[in-house]
Amino acid sequence: MTYATATLASWEFRGAARSRWVLGTAVAFAALCLAVSLLGMRSVRELGLAGVGPASAALINLGILLPAIMGLLLGGNALVAAREQGVLSMIAVQPISRTSIVMGSFLGVYGALAISVMVGFGGAVVVLSGVANRSDILPLVALVGSTLGVSTACVAIGLALSAFAGSRLQAISTAITLWFLLALGMDLALVAIAPAVRMGPVGLLSAVLFNPLEAGRVLALLGASPDGTVLGPFGAYLVETFGTGGAAGLLVASLAFWTVVPLGVARWALTSRDL
């Protein structure tokens, strides 16, 4: 990491950390994680069971959806806000490469989001430690890792949107629309068209890899159930075809793709457009 990249990352991180809505969302995420964990632990104790299964299942959806929209909004606001304030043009005239500008913004925003995610899950882990077994370590690690992976991809996608957006309003509205499409729209579309086109496991896998939120969710569920049973026939196909490690690697590669490509697009946009 160059000095310029580190300096920009530090500046972006401080700006994101001081934002009221970021702080509010981080507190809300931590509170929801805590509430879900307490309810899950209560259910486990009432049933006389052990383990964190009920809470882990609820935390997966919470951990994928809320940090995803936070990442899209934070990334979507980063470059366009600096452009509107005239800061981006001042930075651009310095001997700083476009790559440093993109990576500095990305690392700063992602750092603030990652801390929010870790604080939220940290409280949940403390609560669940009273009922957790040794076998629960892998599902919890997979959950946190999947959430951070989805957050990484969403920040990168948000930065790409920000690089093209003409205003903060346009960037934010586009980010929210994209989140709805990724979180709900693609699932509804698959439910509607799958019976008609007879989409098999290969088609379903392609749809999962095309959606970073779904890739993160499947990765977390695969960590919770390495044999794939929790994913039904699709999980059996994944494990039988690729093995647990191979399927996990494929999903991680999908998240990496959705991180690297948008960052490259953001850099290209900054190079080809007036700042």
7-58 tens-digit pLDDT: 888 888 888 777 777 778 778 877 877 777 777 655 554 444 444 555 566 7
Please, how many CA atoms are within 13 Å of residue 119, restricted to the half-sphere of its CB? 14
The domain of 85 spans 3-272
Buried/exposed code over 93-111 (b: 16+ C-beta within 10 A; e: otherwise): eeebebbbbbbbbbbbbbb
Name the more confident of 165 and 232: 165
Q: What percentage of the chain's residues is helix, strand, coil (to nearest 5)?
A: 85, 0, 15
Q: End-to-end alpha-carbon separation of the chain, Å?
A: 24
Query: Tens of pLDDT along 108-130?
Result: 999 989 988 888 877 777 766 66
Query: Tens of pLDDT along 66-81?
Result: 899 999 999 998 888 8
Q: State the Cα–Cα distance between residues 149 and 219, nearest whole angstrom.
A: 10
Residue 94 has pLDDT above 90, yes or no: no
Looking at the structure of the chain, the number of domains it has is 1
Q: What is the DSSP string of 68-100?
A: HHHHHHHHHHHHHHHHHTTHHHHHHTSS--HHH
Name the more confident of 225 and 52: 225
Among 84-88, 120-124, 153-157, 227-231, top mean pLDDT goes to 153-157
Among 52, 64, 10, 80, CA closest to 140: 52
Q: What is the pTM of this model?
A: 0.88
For the record, the structure tokens of 100 come out as 């440093």
Please tell me the predicted confidence (pLDDT) of residue 154: 95
